[in-house]
Amino acid sequence: MLSIVITNNNKENIQEIYRYITHINNINKNINIQIQILIINWNWNWNILEFENVLDFTNIDVKLYNYKCDYDDSIHNEMLKNCLYDIILYTTLNTYLTEPILEYISLNEIKENSFIRTNVIELDEIPSEFCENYSNNIFKNISEEIKYICNENGKNILLKKQYIEEFNNINNTIINISSKNIKQHNLYYLNNSSDFLLVSKKNILNIGFNITNTNNHYTFQYLLLNLIKNKYNMIKLPLILAVYQKTTNIEIPIISYNLNVICSNEYNTHINYKIYDIIDKKEKSYIRSHIKKLNGIHSNDLVKINKNIEKKNKELIEENNIYIKKIEHYENEIKEIVILKNVLHKKYIDLEIKYELLYDNNNINKQKYIEKLNIINSNINEIIIDEKKKLFE
């Protein structure tokens, strides 16, 4: 029995969900184990009518979880509570399994101190047998499409001949890598962490996820680091139990091995979400945000709110410092203007005094000039009179 948990990044392509369910049903027909598929979405406005074409499948239960919030790893802690089975496979919609993997899962348990990884093989094209008419011929078709192999040694070219030899190797056994050897030889295998990680529900409940992480590409890298930190061993499956993907040039950055990862099993119990049962075609809505008003704010919310406040406060301080500098600049300019104004005012007063003096002096001089003119005029008149007398004598 197996629970498959998928974080859905391509929220608009419902056909990918259909294709994956068809694929799992196709490879499970002979093994026939109970499989639960949980697909996590966030802020996806789905239309129920788009899910009406799902066929009837046996021994498969599929539910879509749509959270009305931005993504963070605490969502996976809630998913753990909803996993029906102890064996959990974290994978993606474009990672294809084969029948031998389901057979291995049906016959084996996961040890308490272990987690399981496998080779991820990239193909030029995905053979149709993954989704219809599964048979062992699939491996022949896979060999024709081989491109790369991704594992603890990174991503490397894989030749058809190498694949066939390794596939048929009777000594192709399961490898147990201790946490000590993982650290000593840098065999962390954080690449392709979202593609295949097989773990026990019990183990993950004890460990939890890095609930401060909001980048879904790093979710399982953090989880792996914390498992290794807590001395969990890596079980590496042989090539015959590999998983397959169509080759891509997309590269996910790898976080540092030296990060101090702190994980928790907490999750936010106040986020609204919807569940859609694809098989039964039923939808349920969980409205939980109103609980905040009754019981206060959840610790996860407080962390986010505090971070937002700190960020906003930092922005306000920086903005305030800019205004302080502007105010200081304007104050200096005002001081200079006041000084200049005082100087100009004094000059104005001095000029007013000078003007008054000049005005008074001008009036005095004008009066003197008039008086002199009168005297001159009087003298001229007297001369004229005297001259006339002389003429008529």
pLDDT in tens, 130-177: 999 998 899 999 999 999 999 999 999 999 999 999 888 866 789 999
* One domain, residues 6 and 78: yes
| Most confident stretch, 136-150, 273-287, 361-375 | 136-150
Q: Count the Cβ atoms, other than its own, within 10 Å of residue 74.
A: 26
Of 263, 296, 329, which residue constitutes the final position of a domain? 296
Q: At what angle do helices 160-167 and 137-145 cross, to 10 degrees?
A: 150
* One domain, residues 270 and 309: no
* One domain, residues 344 and 390: yes
- Residue 59 sits at φ, ψ, to 5 deg, of 60, 25
Model pTM score: 0.72
Decide if pLDDT at 83 tops 90.
Answer: yes
- Rounded Cα gap, residues 320 and 322, in angstroms: 5
* One domain, residues 223 and 361: no
- Rounded Cα gap, residues 41 and 47, in angstroms: 13
* One domain, residues 292 and 156: yes
Q: How many domains does the chain have?
A: 2
* One domain, residues 243 and 261: yes
- Residue 100 sits at φ, ψ, to 5 deg, of -60, -30
Decide if pLDDT at 196 tops 80.
Answer: yes
Residue 380 pLDDT grade (very low, low, confident, very high; cuts 50, 70, 90): confident
Of 296, 322, 348, which residue constitutes the final position of a domain? 296
* One domain, residues 302 and 180: no
Of 245, 262, 296, which residue constitutes the final position of a domain? 296
* One domain, residues 18 and 88: yes
* One domain, residues 258 and 379: no
pLDDT given for residue 299 in this prediction: 53
Indicate the average pLDDT of the chain: 87
* One domain, residues 392 and 285: no
Range of the domain at 363: 298-393
* One domain, residues 247 and 329: no
* One domain, residues 325 and 266: no
